[in-house]
């Protein structure tokens, strides 16, 4: 009985099985690299960025936005940690750590953070590459049964101008890493060839250090991310096409069952798993909870219109408009509430009234469970093409003909 927008739901599910995941590794990278106990002296120094004096009034500018992303990834911060506009960013690299400070337009430091080498922050070297590895403990999810430790690397290398560049692994970089990432949501190892491939992709470049200054690079999409975007667009296009025929069927059926009325009413039937002594309608973790009214069943009066989210389940157990108004006036059944609403309400269930007035309209008492596993007939929740539309019309015509015959 939840009101989800099917297009948003399906798109979100797709995105969260792809781009919502970070690229994590099983161990500090590269596994075959040398572990260092300090940052090399050639990296030591104070680095400053003052380009944001010009963009403080443009908070959503690409430069400002990229700076926030880079700081978050470089220092593994949540964006919410940096609430205030900043005009200057200072990085200080010393023997054992990197310090960050942000200054506002009045040149006052208001935020600081540090990365210090430890057993959860490991610095490794392979040839001319340095890799800072930060450990994260990931909680339980669809991809793992218990919390596990995972690593994210930040790769540093010198370019042809002897400037340091910082790269973050935005996405898998070849067929092997894509397969490993999509199957396990984690990658095992980076070797020398991988380091070259990752740092050749400009989409991974975050920061370039130039003498005592550093610059944020513009945001770029990787080939992997572009491919995901194409898949996303294809799915959205398909869902929209499927919804078109389903919505068309919904409006046709509405006209057949409800006609010119502004709204229709149906009786939803459910089984409750909650305390039968409590006769209130309330909300627990976004899932409506109702006490039984007759046996182990609860009954809900739901109103819907032609412009409601198209749900073909609306056309079961439809009752006359006048009866619905009387039920509401007498407070006989629970009213249908949206998922995000919260209130407690008593009802004056009358078994005689129910048996005589309501029960005759409950021809197909299909159970809609109160909680997880609730059936959803909403448009966009599955394949639905023109053939399905025509078949649906035929089936509803048969049902209407049978219903009219039973009335006679």
pLDDT of amino acid 277:
44
Place of tokens 């398909």: 238
Place of tokens 């995901």: 228
pLDDT of amino acid 264:
92
Sign of the Cα torsion 262, 266, 272, 274 reads: positive
Choose among 2, 81, 65, 29: nearest CA to 337.
2
Choose among 381, 385, 378, 376: nearest CA to 241.
385
The helix (run of H) or strand (run of E) holding residue 205 is strand 205-210
For the chain (408 residues), the mean pLDDT of every run of 10, in chain order, is 35 35 84 93 86 50 61 65 70 90 83 89 93 83 70 90 86 85 85 91 82 70 72 77 83 89 86 45 44 75 87 84 93 71 67 90 51 48 78 84 73
**DSSP state for residue 295 in the 8-state scheme:** T
Give the ranges where 201-222 is alpha helix by DSSP (H).
Answer: none
Find residue 270's DSSP bridge partners.
298
Choose among 218, 209, 217, 216: nearest CA to 98.
209
pLDDT of amino acid 123:
94
pLDDT of amino acid 85:
66
CA within 13 Å, CB half, 216: 25
**What is the C-alpha end-to-end distance of the chain, expressed in Å?**
33
Residue 90 sits at the vertex; the CA angle it makes with 85 and 96, to the nearest 5 degrees, is 135
Choose among 175, 196, 202, 173: nearest CA to 126.
196
pLDDT of amino acid 83:
56
Say how far apart CA 388 and CA 341 lie, in whole Å.
34
């Amino acid at each position: 009985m939840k009101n989800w927008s099917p297009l948003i739901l399906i798109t979100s599910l797709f995105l969260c099985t792809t781009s919502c995941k970070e690229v994590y590794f099983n161990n500090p990278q590269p596994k075959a690299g040398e572990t260092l106990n300090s940052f090399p002296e050639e990296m030591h120094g104070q680095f400053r960025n003052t380009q944001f004096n010009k963009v403080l009034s443009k908070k959503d500018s690409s430069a400002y936005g990229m700076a926030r992303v880079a700081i978050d990834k470089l220092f593994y911060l949540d964006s919410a940690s940096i609430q205030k506009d900043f005009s200057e960013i200072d990085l200080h690299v010393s023997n054992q750590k990197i310090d960050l400070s942000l200054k506002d337009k009045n040149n006052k430091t208001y935020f600081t953070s540090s990365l210090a080498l430890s057993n959860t922050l490991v610095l490794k070297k392979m040839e001319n590459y340095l890799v800072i590895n930060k450990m994260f403990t990931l909680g339980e999810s669809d991809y793992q049964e218990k919390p596990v430790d995972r690593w994210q690397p930040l790769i540093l290398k010198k370019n042809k101008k002897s400037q340091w560049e910082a790269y973050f692994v935005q996405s898998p970089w070849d067929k092997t890493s894509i397969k490993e990432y999509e199957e396990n949501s984690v990658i095992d190892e980076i070797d020398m060839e991988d380091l070259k491939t990752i740092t050749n992709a400009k989409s991974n470049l975050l920061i370039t250090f130039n003498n005592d200054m550093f610059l944020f690079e513009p945001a770029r999409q990787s080939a992997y991310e572009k491919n995901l975007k194409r898949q996303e667009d294809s799915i959205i296009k398909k869902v929209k096409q499927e919804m078109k025929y389903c919505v068309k069927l919904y409006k046709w059926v509405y006209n057949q069952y409800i006609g010119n009325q502004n709204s229709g009413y149906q009786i939803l039937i459910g089984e409750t798993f909650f305390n039968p002594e409590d006769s209130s309608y309330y909300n627990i973790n976004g899932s409506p909870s109702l006490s039984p009214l007759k046996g182990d069943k609860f009954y809900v009066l739901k109103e819907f219109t032609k412009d409601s989210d198209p749900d073909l389940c609306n056309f079961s157990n439809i009752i006359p408009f006048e009866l619905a108004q009387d039920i509401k006036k007498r407070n006989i059944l629970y009213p249908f509430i949206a998922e995000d609403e919260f209130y407690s309400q008593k009802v004056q269930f009358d078994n005689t009234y129910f048996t005589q007035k309501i029960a005759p309209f409950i021809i197909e008492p299909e159970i809609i469970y109160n909680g997880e596993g609730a059936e959803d007939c909403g448009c966009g929740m599955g394949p639905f093409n023109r053939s399905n539309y025509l078949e649906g019309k035929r089936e509803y015509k048969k049902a209407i003909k049978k219903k009219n015959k039973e009335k006679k």
